[in-house]
Structure 1
Amino acid sequence: MKFSSPLNEAQLIKRYKRFLVDLVGADGAEFTVHCANTGKMTGCADPGFQAFYSTSKNTKRKYPHSLELTQNTLNHLICVNTNHANKVAIEALKMHQIPELLDYEIHQSEVKYGKENSRIDILLRDPNRADCYIEVKSVTLLDQQQGYFPDTQTLRGQKHLRELIQMKLQGHRAVLLFMVMHTGIESVKPAAHIDHEYAKLLVKAKEMGVEIYAYNTTISFEEIKIKHRVPVLMA
Structure 2
Amino acid sequence: MKYSAIYLAIFIERSNRFIARCRLLNTGEEIITHVKNTGRSKELLLPNALVAVNHQPSDKRKTAYDLIAVKKGEMWINIDSQIPNALAAEGILSGKIKLPGLKGSINYLKREYTYERSKFDIYFETDQQEKGFVEVKGMTLENYEIGAFPDAPTLRGLKHVEELRLAQTMEYHCYVLFVVQFPTIQTATIHREMQPALYEAVEKAKADGVQILAYNCDVDQESISIKEAVPFDLNQKFIDPNQ
TM-score range, shorter chain: over 0.9
Structure 2 gaps of 5+ residues are 236-243
- Counterpart residue type for residue 233 of structure 2: L
Aligned partner letter, 1:11: I
C-alpha deviation, 1:100, in angstroms? 2.4
Asked whether the 8 Å contact 2:93–2:106 carries over to 1, the reply is no
| Superposition deviation, residue 118 in structure 1 | 1.9
More deviation in 153-162 or 90-99? 90-99
Aligned twin of 1:106: 108
1:226 paired residue number = 226
Q: Which residue of 2 aligns with 1:199?
A: 199
- The answer to whether the Cα contact below 8 Å between 1:186 and 1:216 also exists between their aligned partners in 2 is no
Q: Which residue of 2 aligns with 1:190?
A: 190
User: Is the 2:105–2:127 Cα contact (8 Å) retained in structure 1?
Assistant: no
Residue 147 of structure 1 deviates from its aligned partner by 1.0
Give the conservation status (yes or no) of the 8 Å contact 1:44–1:80.
Answer: no
Displacement after TM superposition at 1:128 (Å): 2.3
Q: How many residues align?
A: 231
Contact 1:136 1:176 (8 Å CA) reproduced: yes
Distance 2:177 2:5 in 1: 28
Measured in 2, the distance between the counterparts of 1:68 and 1:38 equals 12
Across the aligned residues of Structure 1 and Structure 2, the Cα RMSD in angstroms comes to 1.5
Residues in 1 aligned to 2:227 and 2:7: alpha-carbon distance in whole angstroms:
24
Q: Distance in 1 between matches of 2:152 and 2:113?
A: 26
Shift of 1:44: 2.0
Question: Following the alignment from structure 1 to structure 2, what is the Cα–Cα distance between the partners of residues 94 and 18?
Answer: 33
Partner in structure 2 of residue 82 of structure 1: 81
Offset of residue 99 of structure 1 = 2.6
Find the counterpart in structure 2 of residue 22 from structure 1: 21
Residues of 2 paired with 1:141 and 1:83: CA distance? 16
Structure 1 distance, partners of 2:89, 2:18, is 25
Q: Which residue of 2 aligns with 1:177?
A: 177
Is the deviation greater in 100-109 or in 217-226?
A: 100-109
CA 1:127–1:92 in 2, change beyond 3 Å: closer, same or farther?
closer
Shift of 1:143: 2.3
**2:216–2:226 Cα contact (<8 Å) kept:** yes
For 2:239, the equivalent position in structure 1 comes to: none
Q: Aligned equivalents of 1:145 and 1:105: distance in 2?
A: 36
1:43-122 equivalences under 5 Å are 43-72=43-72, 74-100=73-99, 103-114=105-116, 117-122=117-122
Seq. identity, %: 28
After TM superposition, the score normalised by the length of structure 1 is 0.93
Q: Distance in 1 between matches of 2:221 and 2:229?
A: 22
- d(CA) in 2 for partners of 1:42 and 1:158? 22
Q: Distance in 2 between the 1:159 and 1:166 partners?
A: 11
* Preserved CA contact (<8 Å) 2:206 2:212: yes
Contact 2:12 2:48 (8 Å CA) reproduced: yes
Once residues 31 and 223 of structure 1 are traced to their aligned partners in structure 2, the CA distance between those partners, rounded to angstroms, is 22
**Shift of residue 132, structure 1, vs aligned partner:** 1.3
- Partner SS state of residue 129, structure 1: coil
5 Å-filtered alignment, 1:133-144, equals: 133-144=133-144
- 1:213 aligns to 2:213 (yes or no): yes
Q: Is the 8 A contact 1:44 1:140 kept in 2?
A: no
